Structure formats: C-alpha cells, structure tokens
Structure 1
Amino acid sequence: MPIFALIDCNSFYCSCERICQPELKRVPVVVLSNNDGCVIARTSEVKQLGIPMGAPFFQVRDQLAAAGVVVRSSNYTLYADISNRVMTVMASMLPAIEVYSIDEAWGDMSGVQEDLTEYGKRIRARLLQWVGMPVGVGISTTKTLAKLANWAAKKWPATGGVVDLTDPARQERLLRIAAVSEVWGVGRRLAARLRPLGIETAWDLAQFDIGTLRKTFGVTLERTARELRGISCIGINEGPPPKQAICSSKMFGRKLRDLGPIQEAMATYVTRAAEKLRQQQSLCGALQVSLQTQYHNPELPRYANGLTCPLATPTDDTRDLLAVALRGLRHIYRPGYAYSKCAVLLIDLSQRGEVTPDLFAPAPRRGAERLMSIVDQINKREGRGTVRLGRVPVEPDWGMRRDMMSRCYTTNWDELITVGA
C-alpha cells in the first residue's frame, strides 16, 4: 500500500524573511507582490487582523502600520534559494519526492519502517534546524488524504505539525468535520455547486455516487472522491513533465514611452525564458511578443497588441530568440503611448531529438549549445546576470518597484548575513 506525505512550508515567503532576519521572529510580517501591489503572504498574526490575501497595499497600508506589521517587497532570488535547500533536505530523508510548488512537495513514505508520525516529526525538526523553515506534514494512503491531513496539521497546533491519516477510523473522523472546500482541487466555487446536492463535508463527497460525480462534474472530481475513499489514483511523479509554453513578463516600475527601455525589458524577459527553456532541455519553435498600456487609468490612451513569430529552426539560444523577439516588438510598438508591460511567450516547444531538422533551414550557430551551457553554469555558480547579453541592463530604471526588499542574504557575496558584537 502506498504511503504519501505532503510537506508544506508555513507562510513560506514570510518565513524566508524571518530566517535571514532573526529580529522578525516575533513580529508580524507581510510580503507584497510585484511593484509592491498586493499582499501575497501573511504570518498568522496578520491573518488574525483580518487582512485578506491579495489585498491592495495602498488600502491596508495604514492598518498594517498601526499594528506594527513589517512589510517586505518580494525577494524571489532569496525565496528560490531557500526553496532549493528545503527540497534538498526532503530528498535526503525520503526515497522519492515530487516538488509540487516552491513551498511544498510530496514524499514517498512507502518504505519507512518506523512510526510514521515520529518520522514526520523528524523531517519537520530537521528542516527547522538545518534551514530554519517551519512546515506542516500530512501523511496518508492517497495524495488527496495527505493534503487534507496537512490542512489539519496546520489548523490544530496540538498535532505538533504532523498528522498521520493512514488509519481508516481517523480518516473518517477528519472527513466528517472538514468542509468540502478544504479538499484538494475543490475550492469555494465548486463547493457552491456541490452544496445543492447535499455535499457539505469531505465525507459527503467521499460517499456520493461515483457515476453521478463523473457525469455531472467530470473525471477529476470522480478521482478526488475515490482518493477520499482511500483508493490511490495519483502516484509520485519524480520528474514533472516539461512545460508546453514558457512565459516571462512583469509590470514596469514606471510607464515607458520610448522603444529603447522597452527593448531592454524584452531582452531581460527573453533571457529568463531561455534559461527556463534550457532547464527542461527543450527547444522553441515560435514565440509570441506582446505590449500593452495600463487599462485601469481612463485618462491615458489605451493600446495593446501582440505578434506570433516563428523561428527558422527550433533553438534554445538566447541570441536567436532575442533577435526574433525584438523584430516582433518593433513591429507592434506605436509611439505616443505610456506602456506598462511587455511579455514574451515561448511556444511550439519540443525536446531535443524529437524534431527532424529542416534541410532548407539555416544551420544553427556553431557551438551554440555549449556556449549556452557554459553561460548557465557561470550564472548558477556566481549569480544570475553575471554573464548576460549587452542589451540586458544591470540595474534598469524601469525595473519593478521593490522599495522594501530585503537583501539577498544567501546568494550575493556582498549581502551575506553577518554576526557582530
């Protein structure tokens, strides 16, 4: 019988800030989205204040200040590094893991011989000691039940952050008290559609007629109900499938009117998308570029446009991708507008060796694959942007507003944590 564990970091972005800034350990913290727009992470103290997820910062600024809440801009470089450390520790303690998101992963506990609760506590203690990251651990015989067990581990502190739901009797007790909206993949909208059928709790969903669920809501909800019954339908996938499209885009920190700065932004986004493309060992056959003004300001003229640009030969070479993207950008750019965002989307992706080369297409650049590999290695070792195209600026004046961003404590030699008298 398979045994799954879901290990989920608590308030991940806020916990990352606290790891590197001990003075925040007992202080409420929120982290903001790009350009310091909305609240995207909250500690438990902030949740108790009634600050909702996604609240615009300008609306809750005074309330946060009055409550003594520390506000941080998003620091994705720091968060990614700490996430890698968390996943490395998990992988060292479990036979197999499946990274589900930046702050959670599934673990295969089928071969664990000792008490599952105690082993879950060991994982939790090691992550806290080695990385400083608090987590919740849910354990059960299916992924859906493990997810529900993780919810219980975080909801009730008396559990010690670990809930073992492999026992059928314990499963039934939790299913009877858990709202159906807490079930993985259900959510509030689907829960509202289930309510007229008398499905209020996870137990109601597990006991409902499988055929009716499939006919009315589809195979996904049917699979969820089976998993709640203890029938494992979703296994551990150690290597996630490659993405079918890769997008890179951010709002500008200020409105841009001239083509030059917009080209710099496009070069930055193409560089990042190409890195992701090479990480999954894919090639790009076409890309889409887009450009738009802000839609929420009626006083400014509006414009938005996009263009799909095929490539002569599938490639992962940043130089070739950027050349095509800039051609497309010049085609859709119109002077006289205050632009707020541009984007690049890599599409028509394929794995190396899957596509038969076109005999009449231009030959790829000689040594391009090796060059890109060396660039990625250097940037991974020395920090992103150490080696970059000339069009990519170091500190662009159009970059995201992150006025309250913490230092990159773990990825920049000049910003390491220091201990002094």
Structure 2
Amino acid sequence: MDSGNIAWLLISASLVLLMTPGLAFFYGGMSRGKSVLNMMMMSFGALAVGTFAWVLFGYSIASGGDSIGNIIGNPFGDFAMMSVATSGEAMDIISAAFGATFAIITVALISGSIADRAKFSSWLVFAFLWVVLVYSPVAHWVWGTGTAEQDPNGDGFSALLGPNGPLFSGLPGPYDFAGGTVVHINAGVAGLVLALLLGVRKGFGKEPMRPHNLPFVMLGAALLWFGWFGFNAGSAFAADNFAATAWLNTTVATALGILGWLLVEKIRDGKATSLGAASGVVAGLVAITPACASVDPLGAMIIGLVAGVLSSLAVGLKYKFGYDDSLDVVGVHLVSGLWGTLAIGLVASGKIQDDAGLFYGGDIALLGTQAAAAAITIVYSAVATLIIGLAIKYTIGFRVTEEVEVSGIDLAEHGETAYEEAK
C-alpha cells in the first residue's frame, strides 16, 4: 500500500462526492422558482439512495468478484461490501467507496431531464433500481471493477467492453478512462427515455421556462469543474503520470468547451450568456472524461471546442422533435459523452495509452471499437431504463398531477418553497 496513492484517492473521492451538491445548484438554478427545491432534492436523494444501492448490491455487481459468465458480478458476492470493508486493505476500501461517488453522480444527472413533473418518492425508487440494474452492470462491462480500476495498456484486462476484452480481442481499445460510456452516455440515454415516458410539461414550447437563478447555475458549474478533477485524475488510482495528464487535459478541454458554446451563441444570437458559459463548462468536462488519459493538450482542445459547439446546437433539438428534456441532459451529456468517446478514435495520441487515433497515424479500428462500446451502452441503457420506468409508472405512478405541476411541485412534494413568492 502506498500512502500517497491512498491519500490521493481519499481526496478524489471527496471531490467527486462534492459534484452531486454542485449539480443540485446547477440544476436548481436552471429550474423555475416553484420547483427549485424539488430539483435540488432529487440530487440529494440520489446521494442517499445511490449510496444505499451501491453498498448493498452495486459494488458486488460491478466489481466482478464471483462473476456470472463474465457478464455481471454476483449481486450477493460481496453483499453490503462486507468482505472489502473488513479486508484491512485501505486501498481496496477507498477504491470501493470511490466507485460509490460515481454511481451517485451518474443517476443524479438523469434527474435534469424530468424537472417539474416527477414524484419524489418515485424518483427515489427509480434511482435505487437504476444504480443496481443499469449503472452497475455497465460499469462491470467497461472497467471490470466497480471502482473504475483500469489497465490502460490492455495487458490481461478482460472487461467485456474494455481493452483486450472478449468482444474486442486483438483490436485496439475501446478506452473509457473515467466514464464517457458508463456515466454520460448511460445517463443521457436514460434521461431521454424518462423524458419521453413522462411526457412534456404543461406549456412546453409555448411559454418561457427560463432559469430562475443564474448565479446558482454558475456556482454549480464551478463546483462541478472543481470536483471533476477527482473524477478524471482520480481515475488513475495513483498520483502518477496518468493523473497529471488527466488533470491537464480536463482543464484544457473545459476552457475550450466554454469558448465553443459562447462562439455559437454569439454567431446565432448576438449575445454570449452566463448560462452558455456554465453549460460550456459541463460540455467540455463531459467530452474529455473518457479521453483524458488518451490525448495530448492539442487533442483536448479539439475535443472541448467541438463539444461546446455540438452541445450548444443540440440543446435546441428538443423543440424540433418534441421531447421535453427539461435541463438538457440529452443535449449535453449524451451528445458530448458520445463525441468524447468517439473522439478517442480520432485524436488519441498513442503516447500514454497504446493506440493512436486516425489523426495521429492510427487506423480506423479504434474508432470502430469506440463506436461499438457506445452503441452497446446506448441499447442496454435504453431498454433497461424503459422497463424500470414503465414498472414504476404503472404501479406507484411517476408523474405528479397537472394541478401540482401548475401550482408548484415544491409545496406539494416537500411542504415548503424556496422563496416567499415562487413564480
């Protein structure tokens, strides 16, 4: 055990845990005043339920211990994390805890797609089931362990959707250093499914539903950026070259994500907005997450800039196609997560992880394996989320009544309001 690496992972886990309260501010500020508390409570609820689900079953499913056909870990293989918690190995314990923070933030991201209209109790049930049945299996497929502990060089690594895994033996990649597929594509697809399942809010597309507190949004974006260093650099599981590279690339891509988003706004609308800057932060962070240990700073700039442009254009698609993704989970997390995952096949340098992308002298095989891993994640997340959502909808119900939605979900669901006169 290296005490420096243990200390770094303790700090990283704490940083990632901070991301979920940061998300609460980000989403809360984007919501209407009459639903801000409910929106923030959905993130705090994910903190509670996500931890519960991970400790009981999620870690065991994702860790791969006592694996069932190399497809899924036995849910009872380390039930309630009894074995790892009593192992006496500090690195094992904090690694398992680090995995919990990833599960928490991933399910919390989904809540932004169903703002203003979901029952809080139903959301808690969904969050528990989704962590166990969707997040944890995908984490197992991509990383082989519930803690995101990877072998970036592919030596002896046998995760289903990982380098040298059974689906991609002899091929380059696929790579997902910190969660492009597991976190962002997974959550983005789930958000789209729930938005379609619950339907549009009353007045969607006909009346303005503007963010009620832009300073909250910018504060949330700042907290997310700060916590994301634990997310990306912490996924190295050591204070080493991978961590340093991930930290640098995370900063570079995020800065360019802001510029890309603001550039589109300036050209399209004539104004560069604070909401656009905050959204550009998240788009850049999302896109660099899978690629942060695969690219050099130039590649990170390309990834961040393109992510800002793509997501700023994509958020308007909900009005064209008629799905009410309230806080742009699909436009930011699915689009930028998919771009960042595919971008490895284009701009991976080949210097840190073994395989280079097309623009760095590699062949198209890496782009193909990245696309295949993303596609499998999309299909599984969509189908599994739909089954969970339908089960909740037709048993305990998922959506609040129209009267509650109009009068304000905060008062109906929580018996309180954020402001004296919530609008």
Range of TM-score over shorter length: under 0.3
Instruction: Report the TM-score when normalising by structure 1.
Output: 0.26
Flag the structure with larger Rg: 1
Structure with bigger helix share is 2
Structure with bigger strand share is 1
